[in-house]
Amino acid sequence: MDDRSSTIVPAAGVASIASPINLVLLSLFLVLVYMRLRPAKPIAATLLTAPPPTVFRVFTPPQLLPYDGNKGMPVYLAVRGNVFDVSPGRNFYGPGGPYEIFAGRDASRGLACGSFDREMLTENVEGPLDKLEDLGGDEMEALRGWEERFNEKYLVVGKLVPVGHAEVEADEVKA
Ligand code: HEM
Ligand 1 lined by 99 (C-beta under 6 Å):
yes
CB 160 within 8 A of CB 59: yes
Please give the C-alpha separations between residue 164 and each of 128, 142, 161, in angstroms, as whole numbers: 10, 30, 8
Q: Report which DSSP code applies to 68.
A: B
For the segment 5-53, what is each residue's pLDDT rounded down to a tens digit?
A: 445 555 555 567 778 888 889 999 998 988 888 766 665 665 665 555 6
**Domain layout of the chain by residue ranges:** 5-49, 57-174
**pTM: predicted TM-score of the whole model, two decimal places:** 0.72
Please give the C-alpha separations between residue 144 and each of 80, 154, 161, in angstroms, as whole numbers: 10, 15, 20
Q: Any residues with CB less than 8 A from the CB of 10 and at least 6 apart, and which?
A: none
For the segment 125-159, what is each residue's pLDDT rounded down to a tens digit?
A: 999 999 999 999 999 999 999 999 999 999 999 99
Ligand 1 lined by 94 (C-beta under 6 Å):
no
Ligand 1 atom, smallest distance to 110 CA? 30
Fold of the 57-174 domain: Flavocytochrome B2; Chain A, domain 1 (3.10.120)
Please give the C-alpha separations between residue 91 and each of 5, 8, 56, 135, in angstroms, as whole numbers: 80, 78, 24, 29
